[in-house]
Amino acid sequence: MSVTNKQIEVLRYDPERDDAPYYQTYTVPCRDEWVVLDALTYIKDELDASLNFRWSCHMAVCGSCGMQVNDRPTLSCKAFIREYGDTIRVGPLANFPIERDLVIVMDDFMDKLEKGKPWIIPKQKREVEEGPYIQTPTQLDDIKNHTMCINCMLCYAACPVYALDKGFMGPAALTLMYRYNADNRDAGWDERLETFAGHGGVWDCSFVGACSDVCPKHVEPATAIQKGKMDAAVDYFTSFVMPRGGS
């Protein structure tokens, strides 16, 4: 079993004690099969119990362990040590306030997620005995890619628009809004429209594509947002021909 010493530079910050964030370097004997999350776990278990970071599944499913690894938003449980050099710099996700060390404050993201109403708003309420809302495999295929979001927030850390304007809903929230708007079982377009296509919505996206580049589940948020722009444009022009309210 091959073991290589790596220098892991970790951002440290305790807002109750530190004036500003700083990097602390640890020498870690890393195995070839380790990921960055394993190195951080070693540091916490063997070198410095005061280090704080989030993780849960270690299988790229939960999205908890998103961090900046050499300045790139990455799931630390997917970032294999062998793919990096002798020194690896790890920090909290960019564009978010720091709670402590590698832990970010998620409140803004959670607020935006809820504001987008990422759930089925049915066309007509059904009682349990009436059975499930039906969706064919073809209808699922139309949106399946965009259902794979794990809310890891890597796209927010990569998004230049969100970096400059916290009023922007952001890639994940807009993608999930599009996913439900496009669901054949959903009738929530009007309820989401102002948030989806108004200030801070899809039209604020500059289509850099960084969100799709860093997405660990290949959800393609940039594509979803562009599709959302087309849907919003069609809705806008259609409203002149068929005004809401039937008049």
Tokens of 155: 């796209």
Residues 28 and 61 in one domain: yes
Domain boundary among 104, 134, 158: 104
pLDDT of the chain along its 247 residues, tens only? 789 999 999 999 999 999 999 999 999 999 999 999 999 999 999 999 999 999 999 999 999 999 999 999 999 999 999 999 999 999 999 999 999 999 999 999 999 999 999 999 998 888 889 988 899 999 999 999 999 999 999 999 999 999 999 999 999 999 999 999 999 999 999 999 999 999 999 999 999 999 999 999 999 999 999 999 999 999 988 888 877 655 4
Phi, psi of 180 (to 5 degrees): -80, -35
Name the DSSP letter for residue 47: I
What integer pLDDT is reported at residue 7 of this predicted model? 98
Residues 14 and 82 in one domain: yes
Domain boundary among 53, 82, 104: 104
Contact 186, 116 (CB under 8 A): no
Residues 224 and 162 in one domain: yes
What integer pLDDT is reported at residue 126 of this predicted model? 84
Residue position matching structure tokens 């996913």 = 179
Q: Domain holding 177: CATH number?
A: 1.10.1060.10
What integer pLDDT is reported at residue 242 of this predicted model? 75
What integer pLDDT is reported at residue 124 of this predicted model? 85
Tokens of 59: 């299988």
Residues 149 and 76 in one domain: no
Burial (Cβ within 10 Å: 0-12, 13-18, ≥19) of residue 179: buried
Phi, psi of 170 (to 5 degrees): 95, 160
Residues 39 and 123 in one domain: no
- Please state, in angstroms and rounded to a whole number, the distance separating the CA atoms of residues 81 and 20: 28
Buried b (16+ CB within 10 A) or exposed e, 181-203: bbbeebebbeebbebbbeebbbe
Residues 81 and 115 in one domain: no
Contact 65, 44 (CB under 8 A): no
- Please state, in angstroms and rounded to a whole number, the distance separating the CA atoms of residues 141 and 156: 26
Contact 212, 222 (CB under 8 A): yes
Closest CA to 172 of 241, 119, 104, 225: 225
Residues 122 and 236 in one domain: yes
